[in-house]
Amino acid sequence: MRWMNLKTLCVLVAVSLAAPAIVVEAQEIQDATLKEFVLQAIETHEMVQIADSEIRRAQADVSLAKSIFLPKLDANGSYTFYDDDLSIELSPDESFVVRPRQDWTASIDLRQNLFTGLRAFRARDIAKLNRDIADLDRWTTINNLTLDVARKFFDAVAMAEWVEVREIVLEENENQLKVAERLFEVGENSVADVARWRAQVAAAKQALTVAVGDAALARNRLARLAGTADFGELKSPGPVPIPAGTEDELTTNAFGQRPEMLTLIHQLEAAGLMVKFERGVWYPQVDATAQYFQQKSGFPANDWMSLTLNLRQQIFNGGITKAQVAKAREDLRQVELLEQTLRRSIADEVDSAYIGYAAASAVFDAARERTEASRLAYRQVERAYRVGEASTTDLLNATTVATDAETSQIVARVQREFQAISLRYAVGLPPLPDLDFRQMSQADPQEN
């Protein structure tokens, strides 16, 4: 009996411990929105993690560049064995040991750079610019990931709605088959009409099977991209607001808002500083060294302190500095030329997104009108078919037209919403209006 009670207690404890996990799993399969999928993808996708790593690495470079301004403190020591001591004979009975047979030395060295030809300042500023570039690259990475998630999300939404349409079509075809069979029983229909409806039902089942498979594939692709487990019913977002203005105004705004343009500005500044950094080799460098030295030998003394100022001026190094300056200038020139390419690319993206959204909106409006008209036509043909005023072929054609119209409207709607997101991305706005990725950072806090 005691063992039975112990087993019961263990089961209760196991259930109580598993309950939180069950609740978490239930939360994971709740209805998902596009925003939730994007946030999940940002948290799990490897490209964002790589961008976070680049930010931390750039911050480490800033700390490394700043270290040149700080003093360096070293402790040195040595213990040396010689074959014999070195001494000076002062008299036959007296000598002075200059170097003992076993000697040791110890020193504390403090070094401080006083002037490095402004190279230290240039290196620090370049490191800070590279850190800002890493921040902007993360922003760009998240924007690109958002577009990928949105594309997969709307594909999954469209496939799910397509399954619903196919289910409705199959149900309608099965009802029409029953009507055709009853009409055949009373002699108001032919065997060919019944056969046509049976073939139509079989085709509808086949189309539904294909649609279910496509929907499952779209859901799996979305889940893999977002790095999440299975989820419930997708919640399609409402109309995504687009930025106001003409195409030229949006293009001008994109030049000032796109993270790629901001990155280019930082790259231009960093390339210009790199030219000055390489030129700094031609300037003299000054550093100071303070030392406390102690040794076993008493010659010239057991210990002393010293302060040394060192001045170094490069005279000739085989043309290395000249070549490095020339290379830095060409790097600057390439970045300047890259601006033209980037502006042209952004203008093309805005143009494509602007025209694409206008076309998608027009297609959606036309598809909606087509759907309403096809639904009305289907109802009229169906009523006429039931009273014998329309043939089976007429009703089959009306069914096909209505199905195509419903499918076209689904595709047009999701395409319009995706084009709206693409337009926001092209002009430099957050792709989703309720998510501003510039305020989101998973990297470590940065120093100024």
3-state SS assignment for residue 108: strand
* 271 neighbors 332 (Cβ within 8 angstroms): yes
Q: What is the pLDDT of residue 306?
A: 94
**Is the bond preceding residue 241 a cis peptide, omega within 30 degrees?**
no
Structural domain includes residue 337: yes
Q: What is the pLDDT of residue 277?
A: 94
Structural domain includes residue 439: no
Structural domain includes residue 15: no
Structural domain includes residue 178: yes
Structural domain includes residue 448: no
Burial 137-175, CB ≥16 within 10 A → b, else e: bbbbbbbebbebbbbbbbbbbbbbbbbebbeebbebbee
Q: Which domain holds residue 184?
A: 32-67+123-283+293-431
3-state SS assignment for residue 368: helix
Residues 429, 257: Cα–Cα separation, whole Å: 7
Q: What is the pLDDT of residue 117?
A: 82
Q: What is the pLDDT of residue 443?
A: 43
Q: What is the pLDDT along the chain (448 residues), one digit of tens a residue?
A: 334 443 443 433 343 444 444 333 433 535 588 999 999 999 999 999 999 999 999 999 999 999 999 999 999 999 999 888 888 777 777 777 778 888 899 999 999 999 988 899 999 999 999 999 999 999 999 999 999 999 999 999 999 999 999 999 899 889 888 888 888 888 777 888 889 889 999 999 999 999 999 999 999 999 999 998 778 888 887 889 999 999 999 999 999 999 999 999 999 999 999 999 999 999 999 999 999 999 988 777 889 999 999 999 988 889 999 999 999 999 999 999 999 999 999 999 999 999 999 999 999 999 999 999 999 998 998 888 877 788 888 888 888 899 899 989 999 999 999 999 999 999 999 999 988 876 655 444 444 4
Structural domain includes residue 326: yes
Residues 354, 360: Cα–Cα separation, whole Å: 10
The phi and psi torsions of 95 (rounded to 5 degrees) equal -140, 160
pTM score, whole prediction: 0.80
Give 106: exposed, middle or buried? Use CB within 10 Å, 0-12, 13-18, 19+: middle
Tokens of 126: 């370049």
Q: What is the CATH number of the domain that holds 227?
A: 1.20.1600.10
Q: Which residue has the tokens 């790095």?
A: 227
Q: What is the pLDDT of residue 394?
A: 87
Structural domain includes residue 115: no
Structural domain includes residue 184: yes
Residues 95, 89: Cα–Cα separation, whole Å: 4
Q: What is the DSSP letter of 240?
A: P
Contacts of 69 by beta carbon, 8 Å cutoff, 6+ apart? 113, 120, 124
Helix (H) or strand (E) holding 311: strand 303-312
Q: How many domains does the chain have?
A: 1
Q: What is the pLDDT of residue 437?
A: 73
CA-to-CA separations, 154 to 6, 161, 162, 404, in angstroms, rounded: 53, 10, 12, 19
The number of residues making up the chain comes to 448
**Other C-beta atoms within 10 Å of 347: how many?**
17
